[in-house]
Amino acid sequence: MKCETTLNWLRARAKIAEIVMSVCNGASLLAAAGILDGRQATTNKLLWKEATEPGPKVNWVKQARWVDLGTIITASGIAAGMDMTHALITRLYGKDVATWLGRVQRVTSQILSNCLFKVAILLVSFLFRIRSRGRYRRSFYWQNHA
């Protein structure tokens, strides 16, 4: 949070951006850059104390999932960030577009989560087999060399 190059880059982009958005600890960076000074914002709930330290001049809203000030929007975490994005899309493009994108996102998430779940099962099975083989080898070795 003390890298002036990064903070200057954020300040410069925030000046020309139509909308500045952050998810989770991203608000800590915006706060460190002074972009959130005097404004309401939210951030990571699990590390609230640490996440809010860079912004003593920010009006932190702990209970908020996201805070929308029109041109600056902060979300407290990934799930809240998805809801924040949906709300912004609704504002910018209308309810029909936001609803359609929500459906596409749900289907995509289901496909990805099913694939990730299968990969996780395969990985756990593979690791279990490796671990089991190691045990069998050791026990077989000790049975024959006792």
Task: Specify whether 35 is located in the same domain as 80.
Answer: yes
The pLDDT value recorded for residue 92 is 86
> For every one of its 146 residues, what pLDDT tens digit does the chain have, with 9 covering 90 and above?
678 999 999 999 999 988 899 999 999 999 999 999 999 999 999 999 999 999 999 999 999 999 999 999 999 988 888 888 888 888 888 888 888 887 777 766 676 666 666 666 666 655 555 545 554 444 444 444 44
In angstroms, the CA 130 to CA 28 distance is 43
Give the domain range for residue 67. 4-93
Three-state DSSP state, 18: coil
Task: Specify whether 99 is located in the same domain as 140.
Answer: yes
The domain boundary residue, chosen from 93, 108, 133: 93
Task: Specify whether 53 is located in the same domain as 108.
Answer: no
CATH number assigned to the domain comprising residue 10: 3.40.50.880
The pLDDT value recorded for residue 112 is 65
State the pairing for strand pair 66-68/72-75.
antiparallel
Task: Specify whether 14 is located in the same domain as 26.
Answer: yes
The pLDDT value recorded for residue 136 is 43
The pLDDT value recorded for residue 106 is 72
Copy the structure tokens of residue 1.
């949070």
Tokens 């080898």 — which residue?
137
Task: Specify whether 65 is located in the same domain as 76.
Answer: yes
The domain boundary residue, chosen from 93, 111, 135: 93
The domain tally of the chain equals: 2
